[in-house]
Chain A
Amino acid sequence: MTSLHEFLTMGRFGVFVWPAFAFGLLVMLINIYLAHLREKMAFREVREIHQASEEIPS
C-alpha cells in the first residue's frame, strides 16, 4: 500500500474487497456466538435431566 487513501478505497476495488472481509468477519463472529449458545443450551438440558432424575422417588 502506498497511502491511506489507497488502503481505504482499495484502488477501485473497495466496494468488493471490504464487503468480502466484512462478511468473513461477520460469519466468524456469528460462529463464536452460536458455539456459546450451543454450550448454554447443553448445560441447561443436562441440568434439567439431572434435576428430573433427583425428583424421582427411589
Chain B
Amino acid sequence: MTPFSLFFHRLASPPYFYELSKPWGRVFAWLALVLILTALYGGLWLAPRDFQQGNGYRIMYVHVPSAWMSLFVFMVMAVSAFVGLIWRLRLAYAVAAASAPLGAAFTAVALVTGSLWGKPMWGTYWVWDARLTSELILFFLYLGFITLNRSFEDQQTGDRAAAILALVGAIDVPIVHYSVDWWQTLHQGSSFKGLTSEIAPAMLWPLLVMMAGFTFYYGWLVLWRTRSEILLRESDREWTRRVIGS
C-alpha cells in the first residue's frame, strides 16, 4: 500500500479523523478570515466602479462566491453519499450530513443577494428563469436532504435515504451551471469560461480571493460539524469516552 492510499485508509478511521481535523480546522479558519477581509477591502474599496452597473455590481463579491459554494457543497455531498453507499463509511455520511446545512445557507445567500442585485438591474427581485429556478430547486434539495437525514429513528437508515437523494439531486448541479447556456435567461452568462474571465483584473482578484475565502470557511465549518456528527454516530464507542473526558 502506497503512503498516499495508507493516509486515506487511516483518514476513514473516525478517531484518527477527529484528532487530525482539529488543527486543520484552525488553519482553515484563519485562512478564511484573512482571505475574506482582504477580498472585502479589495471589492468594496479598491475595485473601480463599473461603467454600466455603478457600485451595484459589488454585490457579486458575496453573490458569486455563495453561488459557487452552493454547487461545490452539493457535489461534496454527492461524492460523500456515493462513497458512503458503496464502502459504507460512517465518515462519508457524516461529511454529507455536516455539509447540508452549510450548503443550504450558501444557497439562501446566493438567492437573496441575487434578488438584491436583480431589483436595480432588472427592475424586479425575482423572475422564473432557468438559473434562478434551478438554484431555488437546489435550495429545496438541501432542505429535503436535511429533513430526510433526521426523519428516521435509526441514523443509518436516514443516512442511506438522504444519500440517495443527494445522488439523484446532483443532476441539478450541472443544470444550474449550464442553465444560462442552454436556455435564454435574464440572468447573465457565466462569469468564468474555464480558467478565463471577461471581468477586468482590478475587479476580478477580490472575487477570486473571496471565493477562496468562502471555500476555506466551508472547510473549517465542515470539519467542525463533521466532528460533532462522528461523535453522535460513534457515541457507543470507547474512544468517544476519551474525547469527552479530555
Cβ of B176 under 8 Å from chain A: no
Name B residues whose Cβ lies closer than 8 Å to a Cβ of A.
44-46, 49, 54-56, 58-59, 61-63, 66, 101-102, 105, 108-109, 112-113, 116-117, 119-120, 217, 221, 224-225, 227-229, 231-232, 235-236, 240-241, 243-244
- Proximity bits, A30-54, B CB within 8 Å = 1, else 0: 1110110011011101110110010
Cβ of A57 under 8 Å from chain B: no
Most buried by B among A7, A10, A14, A16: A16
CB atoms of A21 and B62 under 8 A apart: yes
CB atoms of A46 and B221 under 8 A apart: no
CB atoms of A11 and B244 under 8 A apart: no
List 22 A–B pairs whose Cβ atoms lie within 8 Å, in order of A's numbering: A7-B45, A11-B49, A12-B54, A13-B54, A13-B56, A16-B56, A16-B59, A17-B56, A17-B59, A17-B116, A21-B59, A21-B61, A24-B62, A28-B105, A30-B105, A31-B105, A42-B228, A46-B232, A46-B235, A46-B244, A50-B235, A50-B244
Partner of A24, one of B46, B66, B235: B66
CB atoms of B228 and A39 under 8 A apart: yes
Contact-size category for A: 20 to 34
CA distance A36 to B225 in the complex (A): 8
Provide the main secondary structure of the chain A interface.
helix
**8 A-B pairs with least C-beta separation:** A13-B56, A42-B228, A24-B62, A10-B55, A42-B231, A20-B113, A11-B55, A20-B116
- Chain A neighbourhood of B235, CB < 8 A: 45-46, 49-50
Name A residues whose Cβ lies closer than 8 Å to a Cβ of B.
1, 6-7, 10-14, 16-17, 19-21, 23-24, 27-28, 30-32, 34-35, 38-39, 41-43, 45-47, 49-50, 53
- Chain A neighbourhood of B108, CB < 8 A: 27
CA distance A9 to B225 in the complex (A): 38
CA distance A24 to B225 in the complex (A): 20
CA distance A38 to B227 in the complex (A): 10
CB atoms of A20 and B59 under 8 A apart: yes
CB atoms of B101 and A34 under 8 A apart: yes
- Chain B neighbourhood of A38, CB < 8 A: 225, 228
Q: How far is the CB of B93 from chain A (nearest CB, A)?
A: 15
CA distance A12 to B121 in the complex (A): 12
CA distance A6 to B112 in the complex (A): 24
Q: How far is the CB of B140 from chain A (nearest CB, A)?
A: 18
- CB nearest to B46 among chain A residues: A1
- Chain A neighbourhood of B59, CB < 8 A: 16-17, 20-21
